[in-house]
Amino acid sequence: MNKANRAELDKAITLINEAQSIVSQLAEEEQEKFDNLSEGLQQAERGQNMEQAACEMDDAASELESIAETLQNLVDM
């Protein structure tokens, strides 16, 4: 891989890391909202949807982190 392609991958990695940070923060906020609900509301459909959204965003953030690591390994080759 040439220097120009490595630089482009570095840009992509930076963007992916920014996206990961945003998604992770949103997941934390959603989980915090869920945690602040009463037990009854947590068990309601809306509460369950909030918890599921937080979990799925957390999973997505982890996947983005993994993608960034994979790309970084390519740059470091």
Helix ranges, 1-77 (H): 3-35, 39-43, 45-76
- Mean pLDDT on 22-35: 98
- Mean pLDDT on 33-61: 97
Cα separation of 51 and 9, whole Å? Answer: 34
Nearest alpha-carbon partner for 11 in 72, 76, 77: 72
**pLDDT-based confidence at 59, cuts 50/70/90?**
very high
Tokens of 22: 């945003």
Tokens of 40: 């009854």
